[in-house]
């Protein structure tokens, strides 16, 4: 599979919404948002997400189809602007195992470095061993866990908190 990567911009809003909703349906345990919440958002809301300077969503494309996404959000508060959070990682089932997630992570980390960030945080649902292995390959280290972090269909989910120090 030949894959190219680039930062998404507001013109990608429709494709971004489609893959975001697919991810929420396919892997609801991996996200805070629900399909219903995200489906209710307008394309303008998605365009706004993709138009910020500090935040970046990286898209992976195969044959001009968006097959993977990941976002880094820079903290906005003055004392925390050295930190970023990786959220919304998703790769379509047909593109898994082709290095798509690694390519997205490389670019998210590079974006963080370009902003001068000193650390990147993320959390991963405790039973998502594949995602955790990915993050560990990029030197993310666990620093804690949050029991009862999310409630999904009456079941509590625990997350592992991870950090990558960039200095």
Entry pTM: 0.94
CB burial readout 54-68, b (16+ within 10 A) else e: ebbbbbbbbeeebbb
Q: What is the mean pLDDT of the chain?
A: 96
pLDDT at 167 over 90: no
From 136, 143, 73, 62, select the one nearest 108 (Cα to Cα): 73
CA distance 135 to 132: 5
Pair 13, 46: CB distance under 8 Å: yes
Q: For residue range 21-38, what is the model confidence (pLDDT) as tens digits? A: 999 999 999 999 999 999
pLDDT at 1 over 90: no
Q: Crossing angle, helix 100-114 and helix 129-137, to 10 degrees?
A: 50
Band of residue 150 on the pLDDT scale cut at 50, 70, 90: very high
From 22, 16, 21, select the one nearest 96 (Cα to Cα): 22
Distances (CA, A) of 107 to 24, 31, 74, 134: 22, 21, 15, 14
Does 4-119 carry CATH code 3.20.20.70?
no
Q: For residue range 152-163, what is the model confidence (pLDDT) as tens digits? A: 999 999 999 999
Pair 103, 137: CB distance under 8 Å: no
Q: For residue range 82-132, what is the model confidence (pLDDT) as tens digits? A: 999 999 999 999 999 999 999 999 999 999 999 999 999 999 999 999 999
* Domain ranges (residues) in the chain: 4-119
């Amino acid at each position: 599979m030949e894959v190219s990567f680039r930062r998404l911009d507001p013109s990608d809003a429709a494709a971004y919404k489609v893959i975001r909703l697919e991810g929420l349906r396919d892997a609801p345990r991996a996200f805070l948002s629900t399909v219903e919440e995200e489906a209710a958002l307008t394309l303008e809301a998605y365009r706004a997400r993709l138009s910020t300077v500090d935040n970046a969503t990286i898209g992976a494309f195969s044959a001009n189809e968006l097959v993977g996404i990941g976002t880094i959000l820079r903290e906005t508060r003055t004392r925390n602007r050295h930190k970023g959070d990786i959220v919304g990682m998703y790769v379509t089932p047909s593109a898994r195992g082709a290095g798509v997630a690694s390519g997205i992570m490389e670019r998210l980390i590079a974006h963080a470095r370009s902003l001068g960030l000193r650390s990147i945080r993320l959390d991963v649902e405790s039973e998502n061993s594949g995602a955790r292995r990915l993050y560990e390959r990029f030197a993310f280290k666990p620093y804690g866990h949050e029991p009862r972090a999310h409630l999904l269909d009456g079941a509590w989910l625990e997350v592992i908190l991870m950090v990558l120090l960039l200095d």
